[in-house]
Chains A and B, each alone.
Chain A
Amino acid sequence: MSIQFKTIQQLREMLDKKVISSEELINETLKLAEDLKDLNCFVTMNEDASIEKAKKIDQAERVDSTLSGIPLAQKDLFCTEGLRTTCSSKILSNFIPPYTATAVKKLESAGSITIGKTNMDEFAMGSSNETSYFGNVHNPWKKGYVPGGSSGGSAAAVAAGIVPAATGTDTGGSIRQPAAHCGITGIKPTYGRVSRWGMIAFASSLDQAGPLARSAEDCAILLNEMSGHDSKDTTSLDIESKDLLHTINQPIKGLKIGIVKEFSLDDLDSEVQNCFEDSKKLYETLGAEFIEISLPNISASVPTYYSIAPAECSSNLSRFDGVRFGHRAENVEDLNDLYIKSRSEGFGDEVKRRILIGTYALSAGYYDAYYKKAQQVRRLIKNDFELAFESIDLIMTPTSPGTAFAFGSKGAQNPIELYLEDLFTISSNLAGLPAISIPHGKVNSLPAGLQLVGNFLREDQILNAAHIFQQNSEFHLKKPSMEEF
């Protein structure tokens, strides 16, 4: 019995009914990953340790967690003790962390098994997974097309049915956009919901970890485990986490959904518009109300993001200097030369571009005009959301302006073109709000994503709305043929 394309719930049932043992499940998963290695989802596999853990689980008398024995893949920016963690960068291509990220540790303590580390845009900087030092990841729906990014490897591994779910991180859309492009479900929680300890930082004030899975329900299962206060991360919220499975599957009659006036869909592909209109109709039949809202400063979110995120990244990436870990250039003349050569050799173009932008934005004489101004605009954007949420429960937008595109077709000449991929997703990072992307149809035979943005800490509402949508549609059940692979 194939384990491909199974959800967590389905694998749980197979394990519980002893249709398959944990060890068999892991072996099958590893074999599938091997068979589909042309997708290039994985940077590093964790064969021995995962089989070892599966054996132990098989020997255990009781199973007390849904995730026990379930194979998962981790984005390769979560530090994993003893397992190489590269951030898909040459500069970390030899880095084996001595500790494990809190989010991964929590999932592993719940019994899940990390089968490997997934490919991504280098240091999570990109929207197509094309900046990876380890090569492009193919979209399972179409060879030669991007899976989206930066969590492209995780999205592709789930969409290809290798693992039922994977972790990702989202700084400006890096979970939601690849989920949309690969036809799966992915949620970025409220900033501070999941500990950032052990997540290699891109932009500290925007980064947030979350799950990618085949359904909203599976996302809820993972997020339940990943959430929670961590004393090692002062920005993690010290609040009790609610059981998200408990609040899923509530009727949505009377749910007030905001449509953002400033997000004009007129310029978008008509098929994208059609998908959006169809989803609106579905929600209306399910009892939701639509209300037009205004987010007056939303148009500034892309430039605001591209001032703040590179500024933080320029500082966060300073530690990659060839002194203590990672790539170190040889034959250097002095300390400065060591820095220059190690970093020039170790970082790819996009990372260098963002370090340069960020360094500029923080420089004396420019700080006020760029970084400080951007922080002020960020505050305005946040205020806009706060005001809007006084009259609505959640906001609905397309996840991305388009669908997956061919390798090399966007951003090669003008990086800004690629930055606009995040047009609809970036603002929820700036405001720290939770947002989910669910598949809601196809455009030119490629999946399109629908985004639901929730109020602060209201993951329960967007997960419920997404789940109800999935209970009443079949977009999330669609599987790529995988004939090309």
Chain B
Amino acid sequence: MTWETVIGIETHVQLSTKTKLFSRASTEFGKSPNTNVNLIDCGLPGVLPSVNKEAFYKAIRFGLAVGAQINQTSIFDRKNYFYADLPKGYQITQMDVPIVIGGTIDIETDEGIKTVNITRAHLEEDAGKSIHDQFDGYSAIDLNRAGTPLLEIVSEPEISNAKEAVAYMKAMHQLVTYLDVSDGNMSQGSLRCDANVSVRKIGDSELGTRTEIKNINSFRFVEKAINFEVKRQIKQLENGKKVTQETRLYDSVKDETRPMRSKEFANDYRYFPEPDLLPVVISDQEMQEIKDNFPELAKEKEERYAIEFELSEYDAKILASSKPMADFFEQASRETKNYSLLSNWLIGEISAFLNKDIIEINQSKLTPINVAMLINRIDDQTISGKIGKSIFEEMYIHGSSPDEIIESQGLQQISDDSEIEGIINSVLEKNPDQVAAYLSGKDKLFGFFVGQVMKLTEGKANPQTVNTILKEKLKE
């Protein structure tokens, strides 16, 4: 029997505002527990929310980018439930009137571009964090995250498999980072999703019963969690059992999904309009300002790079695919003229290091100026490409500047003809047997001589100069 999968995704995007959605406390990640917390965030008696418009601007920017309808009047609702890291006992969210309605996102699938429809996106505040394993017999609460603005983006159930779900998340990630709506840092929870998964027999018009996998925070886990869940559901149905509508958690260690305890989701949230907030109105003028300051998106950058920097379409696309990489490239391109060498390094050597550590370039110790300087030193032949690689490793590990490394380690390339000639002479003198063998037709020994020269110069001799002089010498 053949089955098809239907997936809808709710993406929770932490908006990269300086302060929280309803308070002036900082949203900075990684601060000591309960330091980014003010009276409002800890829900003290008598406090009231005040609005951070920056979050609205970011949400609207997202809406405009996906071609959605924008509700310029935002109305908030309370979602009531008790949890220790939810200070007020309710979350301020948008139920009936989301700020963003509709829109589409294009994703890349094996069959080409697929357009996924967005149902809605609404603003809400994040909860704090409960820490259960650090204090014996107690749970601890960290409210630093409480009140951080979230945009919850709900897709239509139009995603057909785990791979597409990953493509959707990647497209979403690229979009929100490009829009500067979010830093997109998945390991810090800036982008996470819930996947609604169901299966049905091909040809059925009715959707199957769905389960919701909560809080997935990496591309890899999206794929694994959905694949597991699809297999599990098909097995249930093929064994004549039913799929229970429920909320499940993905356990990445065991690579399985399992139901959350019923207590954790069996809630009547008692939504009602938030009486502490008047409707927030975004004026036509503010809308215009958002439109006027719209950032350049990936596709536009890609096209511009190919023309402005004369890069191949392929290279331009790779550089533009990640916002941090594109930003880095653009900044470095102001300090060097050799764009193709810069692009080669970014796509090749540098990406290899970043991928190994699974980080984005802006999370590394590299700076655009340093990388551009490295490119310039290779370009002006101060160093060879090979030395460049060892210098790069130093830069990557310590964040040092290439000139400093070249200076302190004396790595300047030797391009001086007479100096190289002297070294070649001494190599040839020391190896008369090899010279004789070469002259008698063993061409391969040429490499041996080059190697000897490089050894003596610790790799600093300009290889082209060495080649030229050595060839002449061996003719004599």
Contact = CB atoms under 8 A, between A and B. Distances in A.
A324 B270 contact: no
A234 B82 contact: no
Nearest to B89: A318
A207 to B, nearest CB: 9
Interface stretch (A46-54, A130-138, A175-183, A194-202): A194-202
Given A235-B275, A318-B89, A325-B44, 11 more contacts: A200-B45, A201-B46, A204-B275, A315-B90, A318-B90, A321-B89, A324-B141, A336-B82, A336-B263, A362-B80, A367-B270
B25 interface: no
B278 A234 contact: yes
A235 B276 contact: yes
Query: Could you tell me the dominant secondary structure of chain B's interface residues?
Result: loop
The 3 A-B pairs of least Cβ separation, nearest first, read A318-B89, A204-B275, A362-B270
B33 to A, nearest CB: 13
Contacts of A78: 46
B286 to A, nearest CB: 17
B75 to A, nearest CB: 12
Interface string A324-367: 11000000000110010000000000000000000100111001
A265 B141 CA distance: 56
Interface stretch (A2-10, A66-74, A95-103, A273-281): A95-103
A87 B44 CA distance: 13
A319 B48 contact: no
A293 to B, nearest CB: 29
Contact of A92 (B45, B51, B263): B45
A85 to B, nearest CB: 7
Interface residues of B, number: 31
Interface string B37-71: 00100111111111100000000000000000000
A79 interface: yes
Nearest to B143: A324
Contacts of B78: 315
B272 interface: yes
Interface string B266-290: 0010111001111000000000000
A21 interface: no
Interface of A: 77-79, 85, 87, 92, 95, 97-99, 101, 196-201, 203-205, 231-235, 311-312, 314-315, 317-321, 323-325, 335-336, 339, 359, 362-364, 367, 371
Contact of B141 (A233, A323, A359): A323
Query: Could you tell me the dominant secondary structure of chain A's interface residues?
Result: loop
B423 interface: no
A364 B47 CA distance: 28
A234 B39 contact: no
B454 interface: no
A99 B46 CA distance: 10
B170 interface: no
Contact of A371 (B87, B141, B272): B272
22 contacts: A79-B46, A87-B45, A97-B44, A99-B46, A197-B46, A197-B47, A197-B48, A198-B47, A205-B275, A235-B48, A319-B45, A321-B89, A323-B141, A324-B44, A324-B141, A335-B83, A336-B82, A336-B263, A339-B82, A362-B272, A363-B270, A367-B272
Contacts of B82: 318, 321, 336, 339
A445 B43 CA distance: 46
